[in-house]
Structure 1
């Protein structure tokens, strides 16, 4: 046995006689061990701490976390899939020189399994890396935790492959925020072809980063170096990996694979003492892997989002028209090898590149020539984009999958192979002889005169048709005594008003929504029979229908006798057709004939949330995991409306009846008839036409007509508390009849008895810490002052991470609004929770 240094003797004495919580040293030798009562702390900056921990007092793990950050944030777990059952455990060197975690009986629960060392030491570095090395060699590691990441990528870690050692370093999610065991989601680099990173849900691709183009990943155009943070991608015959580094010592950043399937980058904000969500993916429908299928392009700025590449047409036209583009597109014209040409596509996320051919030294011209000679080549592009130019060659020989169009200045150029007949050849006008110029002038004059004649004819035809249509409309109005517009006029009005509202956006496409004839919808719904009625709202009924292609649909029919709803109908056409998110209901089409105004949606098997949540016979179907999924999904949908969609949208009527549930109880926000669009720099608006539902309205909106993203946040907070309790906010009275659900929840929270709020029908299916976190989020959202409420990005963060910093809530706003008898609303009260429309509020007393 080698001699023990004075420092090591001192450490052993400290362990024996002074059982403090943390060592002042960062190193253990082969003669030392670490028990549950002690931790190692990295040096010299003491950034990280190593030791045993338990998330639930029943399972024990050995891992690393940030020491100076007050919210316990774990970055690595050794025995994640083999928890220990009690706290009497030890970390030490084993007989073979490996570091091991053993229980009280000496059974090994985890081992590093590295080659035996002569004089090994284990050290925790300030980078968060736990290393085993020879005592005399500080530069060469025999083993390091950075080679075996769990769910977190830290600065200096490498995500990818060491090809010489055949080692793959990738992230895998926790099973849930309280369970470090390996979850369903992973983030792995595929080094084949043109390397890129994939997010997997078990064996299913969910998201793709796109290949590295020299500046960033092709699928992450917003990826820009932060002040103090830079990115690196290495790719040669020995290694392929991605990493990032912090050049500013004050910056703390981490990338995690979240247990709910999101890749997230967090940055620590010292002033507010919280982790700020800086970036996440997937964030929209176009981030979903191959959402538009082979040769389909996804564009969130278009409606619908899926487009076929020029020269291709939808493979399944029926599904395509119903906004399902997963089957992709087929060529219109067969290729003819060397006679083919190439169509340039700009600002693209390059296709799935795992089978692509790469040559780093070829020019783009050489790349085109090689692709043209290879009859199997379907597209080509540059290998890299750099500040000094472009270079290299990438060739695809398979179907082009998972393409996406970005805004101007983002993405990359892609050249797709098409039959020559599919590409328009536009002759350029150049200099020539006097005779040629004369001919060109004659051609230009002839074209100009012809164009004027054609336009004059079209204008005359348009005026004649308009006058004829107005005469017909006048006759119909006189017959029915009701003002009507034709289908075309109403759709045109919607498009025109859309353009006015969206005038801040460029390249706005007109509405591309399938229009059905009334007979088709009548047949699909059994002539709107009562057996097919799903429900009834303030503006009409909703029916279940089935198209002849066996496609189930939900049909919302505007009541003919209702004096309300036309503005809401047009609003829904303008908005929801352009919104694409997994937690928003899809609008499949519309029908506008004579006095019929109908919207067709995707059918949701489990109807609305309120039909189950507030039904004593059905509420037991919603165990806690399903309720938590509904809360999180609704939050993500609302975040998309407020922040990630093309326009900032305020829903204004968030409530349980507007949350629809599919066959797997996944939530989708519906009913955008009352929604309002904000410009990107607009924070709030004022209205005298207060719309929404009593019990969900924020105080400032109900009393003063002020609405903003924070009024939606208030409604979401009410919804969260209703989901947890299974009770409605409006119509709920406890022992003190002046308390609504918000007041009852607030009193329980102050008394430390918040878990009493839980719906008894959930039995023991819930996680207490998860429920408490949701109750706290709900109370933060319903605080009386709008400025105290969090925004939805913070809400999503607090729901998805148990390490997120959460403030203590202040008193909620108890305002329920007036009784309907006290308002000028024309709505009739059919149940305790109802929608009001066109109400002018003069004074409301909060209680």
Structure 2
């Protein structure tokens, strides 16, 4: 090669290296200028490598521009640009600053005119930037600004923080910029693999006394309660700490909520997921996983309007709905069947001259979008103002950060109140003068009254026979209203039914004392008692045409008792050797458990030999009747199956961790999962459940109960049960829901594997998708299916210690790209199964657990 040729080659190589250097430099920095762009695998990385921006694909078909955490292996997206308009080829599309320099766009670079595929909204009108740059900041905010202008956010020409997707990061604002007409709210993904806008959104309503609502399209699901100077009144767990500070600003220019993380080693985010749950996560570096710090709605009382107008929800009560003093149920029949959405009505009307106020402690303040707020008024003036306004129904202080300051008045019905043992604040509901005398409260202020009013004391200290008589009359009226309803005509000898009822329910309370020994005192169970004759009449004397199903306990019937709602009546068989213990167990447990994924017990009947439980009616009966039916299984598309799996997981997590008592179900199976009209799952049948102490890990029993095919190896072999035995049953359920096949009676050709063994074999061979039920069709998320199969296999591992806790299961199912361990061999049974689904059938069966053979008698 000549010297000239060598020189030209060196020069060409130098040019290539230089171009490559600058290209790499541009795409590995945190900033691009107006004449630069991103395409393909090129990304922006924030200065301290906290966040990264670039093209990504959640389903291998559509491409989006998004922002994610740079150094977290569990890829977590916090913002998506073109969620409505995905592109199909990232290499032919570019992300850059728009022509006007005050926004960002995605262009099709192969089109002759550079077609705009997506463009961000412009924030500032009439802006004319000279040298705009787009920069990804370490807080996750993508901003467009003038080059060299890094003073503050006020100088940003555009920023992604003004247009959130499903995630709220520290320093972001949830709420309104009224001067610019910006409404910053969270909107869920359609599904974990589809970033397009979903059905659920979390928005701040700035009207009245501002608060945030979780919406399912046009339906309110949950509200935070208004900001009281310290926290949202409906989030008692919300407390500023050394790690996190919360901020709420409300003035004529803006109304917003934000939070700040003070600990540089802490990563926190708030998100609304595709199933309609608000979740706050923190990253745990030791386990390399996200930990769920808080979620909502978490219980029945978080459901918006659960107890209707003037009703107060209390998860520590049974039933959870109670009317405010001075009010009674609007629909008594539905109320005593534990359907409280109709709420309560006043027993005595206000006269607008001598009304008073009843203080309510520890309350989530009522829905407040129509409330009147004056931060300058004192609480004394607030009382006077509410007393003098005939339309005012209650008042409270607006700020409790330094005592009580400011005034909030409510007009019209009081909705969505709940009581907290620890948290909430004082609220004063307006009552008539006679109710104030009866219940005790504040006499309304007038010009000659000083202070906050005079407390009307009821009882001996009431000061006068007239007051005492009024109090006694009011008490008798209240007692009459709260007595359980007895329907139908009684033909038994007088007192026989009452004696049998009292005997059984007293046994329940005595048992509760033993089981709940950790409590200071047991609480009586306020469960409505129904007349047997009324139930017999409603079921047409328990005829087969009203029968929903039958098991070892007896039969379940569908009926409407008098004019009440449709219910399911579970009649315990008189010939069953079991029964009384299971009946007492179910009454004392489920009457106290309140969760959207647990079936609701609305009453019972105990007359002589009759023992009957009355539940809310579930339109689609049990999961097994749909899942394993050739004609009905197509109703359960993948979205519904995934919702069923997540719902069962949340219900089981509540039993194990979030309920007042730790409950081990011990008989979790498809026939004990009921489906409502929208195919939402609810766990039922607590006859075999056991209560665990808070520090108790496991227990042993000589009486093995449950259903073969769902029983954990350690329980079936040794009678050892714990939360992890429920986890095993859940894992079996997950694999059954995915496959549409029963674990019992499923044997794969030649090698006689049951469903667990078959799923394990497919998983090891990388053929997990072959497990999917053909009734699902092709419309399913591969990532979701594989995640569910892996969760199922993790839950059915042979050794209990290897199985995850339900808190980890719920977190994994709700995460888009979770980090999960590889499952180990499941504990499964080999051999011929006896075709029965009843957990109460009595027979011998041979069960092999990893080649160890034992014979077990099912005691149920």
TM-score range, shorter chain: 0.7 to 0.9
Mapped partners of 2:769, 2:22: distance in 1: 39
Which runs of structure 2 are paired with 1:280-295 in the superposition (5 Å)?
280-295=295-310
Mapped partners of 2:225, 2:340: distance in 1: 20
Cα 1:11/1:130, change in 2 over 3 Å: farther
Residue in 1 that maps onto 2:193: 178
Q: Deviations over 1:728-759 (max 9, x none)?
A: 11222113444221111111111111111111
Q: Would you say 1:30 and 2:41 are equivalent positions? A: no
Match of 1:535 among 520, 528, 549: 549
Say whether the 8 Å CA contact 1:286–1:298 is kept in structure 2: yes
Q: Would you say 1:90 and 2:105 are equivalent positions? A: no
Match of 1:216 among 225, 228, 231: 231
Could you tell me how far 1:231 is from its partner in structure 2? 1.2
Mapped partners of 1:162, 1:694: distance in 2: 60
Q: Would you say 1:129 and 2:141 are equivalent positions? A: yes
TM-score normalised according to structure 2 size:
0.87
Match of 2:762 among 726, 744, 748: 748
Residue in 1 that maps onto 2:613: 599
Match of 2:642 among 623, 628, 634: 628
Match of 1:296 among 298, 311, 316: 311
Residue in 1 that maps onto 2:839: 835
Could you tell me how far 1:317 is from its partner in structure 2? 0.8
Cα 1:306/1:840, change in 2 over 3 Å: farther
Which runs of structure 2 are paired with 1:376-775 in the superposition (5 Å)?
376-386=391-401, 388-407=402-421, 409-424=422-437, 486-505=500-519, 509-549=523-563, 551-775=565-789
Mapped partners of 1:613, 1:378: distance in 2: 50
Q: Deviations over 1:375-429 (max 9, x none)?
A: 211111111112x42211111112111100000x41100011100111237799x
SS at match of 2:400: strand
Residue in 1 that maps onto 2:858: none
Match of 1:254 among 261, 265, 269: 269
Mapped partners of 2:22, 2:839: distance in 1: 66
Residue in 1 that maps onto 2:70: 67
Cα 1:12/1:297, change in 2 over 3 Å: farther
Residue in 2 that maps onto 1:265: 280
Could you tell me how far 1:615 is from its partner in structure 2? 2.4
Q: Would you say 1:138 and 2:146 are equivalent positions? A: no
Residue in 2 that maps onto 1:3: none
Cα 1:373/1:15, change in 2 over 3 Å: farther
Q: Deviations over 1:506-532 (max 9, x none)?
A: 575422222111111111112111222
Match of 2:809 among 795, 818, 836: 795
Say whether the 8 Å CA contact 1:703–1:844 is kept in structure 2: no
Match of 1:107 among 112, 115, 130: 115
Residue in 2 that maps onto 1:825: none
Listed as ranges, the gaps of 5+ residues in structure 2 are: 1-13, 443-459, 469-492, 852-860
Say whether the 8 Å CA contact 2:275–2:643 is kept in structure 1: no
Mapped partners of 1:648, 1:127: distance in 2: 40
Mapped partners of 2:190, 2:69: distance in 1: 21
Could you tell me how far 1:843 is from its partner in structure 2? 10
Q: Deviations over 1:23-69 (max 9, x none)?
A: 331111111111113011000x1101111111112111111111100
Say whether the 8 Å CA contact 2:704–2:715 is kept in structure 1: yes
SS at match of 2:29: coil
Mapped partners of 1:12, 1:420: distance in 2: 90
SS at match of 1:338: coil
Please identify, of 100-109 and 297-306, the stretch whose mean Cα deviation from structure 2 is larger: 100-109
Say whether the 8 Å CA contact 1:690–1:839 is kept in structure 2: no
Residue in 1 that maps onto 2:452: none
Say whether the 8 Å CA contact 2:713–2:849 is kept in structure 1: no
Q: Deviations over 1:452-477 (max 9, x none)?
A: xxxxxxxxxxxxxxxxxxxx99999x
Please identify, of 366-375 and 13-22, the stretch whose mean Cα deviation from structure 2 is larger: 13-22
Mapped partners of 1:227, 1:813: distance in 2: 46
Cα 1:120/1:804, change in 2 over 3 Å: same
Residue in 1 that maps onto 2:132: 120
SS at match of 1:108: strand
Could you tell me how far 1:550 is from its partner in structure 2? 6.2
Cα 1:506/1:365, change in 2 over 3 Å: farther
Please identify, of 271-280 and 488-497, the stretch whose mean Cα deviation from structure 2 is larger: 488-497
Q: Deviations over 1:352-389 (max 9, x none)?
A: 11111112122221211111111211111111112x42
Could you tell me how far 1:17 is from its partner in structure 2? 6.4
Q: CA RMSD in A?
A: 2.9
Could you tell me how far 1:245 is from its partner in structure 2? 0.9
Q: Deviations over 1:289-337 (max 9, x none)?
A: 1111110000000011000000001111111111111111110111122
Residue in 2 that maps onto 1:326: 341
Mapped partners of 1:210, 1:652: distance in 2: 37
Match of 1:201 among 212, 216, 221: 216
Cα 1:93/1:15, change in 2 over 3 Å: farther
Cα 1:427/1:348, change in 2 over 3 Å: closer
SS at match of 1:628: helix
Say whether the 8 Å CA contact 1:587–1:599 is kept in structure 2: yes
Mapped partners of 1:11, 1:622: distance in 2: 60
Please identify, of 94-103 and 53-62, the stretch whose mean Cα deviation from structure 2 is larger: 94-103
Could you tell me how far 1:22 is from its partner in structure 2? 8.5
Mapped partners of 1:238, 1:338: distance in 2: 39
Mapped partners of 1:18, 1:721: distance in 2: 52
Cα 1:721/1:532, change in 2 over 3 Å: same
Residue in 1 that maps onto 2:385: 370
Mapped partners of 2:713, 2:42: distance in 1: 51
Cα 1:93/1:474, change in 2 over 3 Å: closer
Tell me the number of residue pairs that the alignment of Structure 1 and Structure 2 aligns.
782
Could you tell me how far 1:653 is from its partner in structure 2? 0.4
Listed as ranges, the gaps of 5+ residues in structure 1 are: 1-9, 429-438, 448-471, 477-483, 821-828
Mapped partners of 1:228, 1:706: distance in 2: 41
Say whether the 8 Å CA contact 1:742–1:814 is kept in structure 2: yes
SS at match of 1:385: coil
Say whether the 8 Å CA contact 1:301–1:508 is kept in structure 2: no
Mapped partners of 2:716, 2:677: distance in 1: 35
SS at match of 2:41: coil
Cα 1:361/1:654, change in 2 over 3 Å: same
SS at match of 1:389: coil
Residue in 1 that maps onto 2:370: 355
Mapped partners of 2:758, 2:306: distance in 1: 45
Mapped partners of 2:564, 2:315: distance in 1: 28
Cα 1:380/1:721, change in 2 over 3 Å: same
Mapped partners of 1:846, 1:692: distance in 2: 20
TM-score normalised according to structure 1 size:
0.88
Could you tell me how far 1:619 is from its partner in structure 2? 2.2
SS at match of 1:496: helix
SS at match of 2:27: coil
